[in-house]
Amino acid sequence: MPLHTLSPREVHCATDGDHNDGGGLILRVRGTNSNWIFRFTAPNGRRRDMGFGTAHRDSAAAAGESVHLARERARRAREVLAAGGDPLEEKRAERKAAAEREAAKKAERKAERATLCRVAREYHERAVEPRFTSKHAALWIASLENNVPAALWNAPIDTIEPIALFKAMAILKKRIPETADKVRQRLDKVFDDAVFHGICTANPARIIRGKLSEEPRGRKEGHYRALPFNHVPDFMNQLRAEKCTAARALEFGLLTAARTGEILGSTWEEIDEESGVWRIPASRMKGKQEHVVYLSTPALEILKVMRAIGGLFVFPSPRDPRRRLSNMAMLVLLDRMKMRARTTVHGVCRSSFSTWANETGIARSDVIEACLAHKEADKVRAAYNHASFAAERAALLRAWADYCATCKLPVAANADRAQVLPMMKVA
């Protein structure tokens, strides 16, 4: 049978009925509807009709383009028949494969959106915020944001493996055991909710619970007796009423979260009051790396008072300005304040700060650790992590200074909270 028997004009002007173009291609016109049909005999001997879609006949040009496309489809269908296939079944298989590809793409896009971060925040908004005070709810999500490593926090929730979560929680447990317990428990709820809603199929936070309990806990902050951080503002108020060099040294250490040796060994060469920076050389640091402290306004006010005394050291000995303050001076001060049984210098200057920063979730754990000059436990991470977090560290120490100034106890008549008191006696 000859092919291509219909001209574009005949297609354009065709009336109701079936119009053969040859080789099984038919123009079917039914009222206002026009379609292309390919009629063939399948390899199993069955007579079949295969639709090629609408025949556009609004103009001779449209009709010409429409018949050209239909003939090309018919040519491909004849090639399938010649190869022993069924073009209709092949078309259905292609449609099914295309639908599966699209479904896979949608699932992939959904998985990309369903990161642990997004799922946790959605759960927090839906299930935590309505049930708890705004303060507790904020601490709840902050504990996850600040302590779950970014690689896990931003990963699709259904790709997080138990071993990866276990390693992250084990490191956190050695550093801040109490916080690690809370983080794992909260992740347990997030994953449980995600499993319930079909976002993931397993709860790795629950799977690692038993294994994590076998891991050694890091030392508690209470290893050095430390004031609960909500007692620090009142302690600061009492400290500022003490008129001695040791009190100013302890106050400065509290505001900078510094170690005793770093405080007492500080010299004016290390201080840049204009830019508000205290640069401690590596030789004086426990980790043998230079450490930069960003000084808050109250810390700078202490330096103004100490500058007037003169001497090489910022906190000189009252007996000899050429020498630094005694190692025992701040402990004697704590004795006099009747605080020795409640805290140590390290405890109030560093442990209280660390607990406050971690428990309130006011900053990322990396920033808190940088303020404390702690060495990175992960050697690989340490090799690549050169970030100093300067702005965040400065903001954190300013927030700590503001918090320390929130005392609710009455201030002594001669103690102006906005000023640092001068030294009057030897500690």
In terms of C-beta distances under 8 Å and separation of at least 24 residues, what long-range contacts does 278-282 make, across chains too?
A: none
- Residue 413 has φ and ψ, to the nearest 5°, of -60, -35
Please report the pLDDT score of residue 337 as a whole number: 93
Cβ atoms < 10 Å from Cβ of 23: 19
Please report the pLDDT score of residue 1 as a whole number: 64
Q: Give the pair of three-digit tokens for residue 29.
A: 């016109």
Mind listing the domains of the chain with CATH numbers?
A: 8-104 (3.30.160), 116-218 (1.10.150.130), 223-404 (1.10.443.10)
Following CA atoms 43, 49, 53, 54 in sequence, which dihedral angle do they give, to the nearest 10 degrees?
150
From first CA to last CA, the distance across the chain in angstroms is 116
Nearest alpha carbon to residue 160 among 188, 125, 182: 188
Distance CA 247, CA 325 (A): 11
3-state secondary structure of 302: helix
Distance CA 422, CA 424 (A): 6
Please report the pLDDT score of residue 420 as a whole number: 31
DSSP string for 364-425 = -HHHHHHHTTPPPS-HHHHHH-----HHHHHHHHHHHHHHHT---SPPPTT--TTSPPPP-B
**Sign for the pseudo-dihedral over CA of 307, 309, 315, 320:** positive
- Residue 41 has φ and ψ, to the nearest 5°, of -105, 120
Per-residue burial over 42-62, b if 16 or more Cβ lie within 10 Å, else e, is: eeeeeeeebebeebbbeeeee
Please report the pLDDT score of residue 109 as a whole number: 61
Amino acid present at 100: E
Mean pLDDT for each consecutive 10-residue tract of the chain (427 residues)? 87 93 93 93 91 91 93 93 90 88 71 83 93 86 90 91 94 86 94 93 94 74 70 94 94 95 93 94 88 95 91 88 87 91 89 90 88 66 55 94 74 32 33
33-41: strand order across its sheet: 17-22, 25-30, 33-41, 47-54
Distance CA 40, CA 74 (A): 10
3-state secondary structure of 8: helix
Amino acid present at 390: A
291-294: strand order across its sheet: 271-272, 277-280, 291-294
Q: What angle in degrees, to the nearest 10, is found between the helix axes of 245-256 and 329-336? A: 100
pTM here is: 0.50
Please report the pLDDT score of residue 99 as a whole number: 85
Q: Give the pair of three-digit tokens for residue 112.
A: 């990309």
Per-residue burial over 63-87, b if 16 or more Cβ lie within 10 Å, else e, is: beebbeebbebbeebbebbeeeebb
Please report the pLDDT score of residue 222 as a whole number: 41
Please report the pLDDT score of residue 330 as a whole number: 92
Q: How many residues does the chain have?
A: 427
Please report the pLDDT score of residue 423 as a whole number: 33
Q: Give the pair of three-digit tokens for residue 33.
A: 């509807």
Distance CA 371, CA 354 (A): 9
51 DSSP β-pair partners: 37
> In this structure, are residues 104 and 110 in contact, taking their beta carbons and an 8 Å threshold?
no
Distance CA 239, CA 260 (A): 16
Distance CA 177, CA 216 (A): 9
- Which residues, other chains included, contact 220 with Cβ-Cβ below 8 Å and sequence gap of 6+? 177, 178
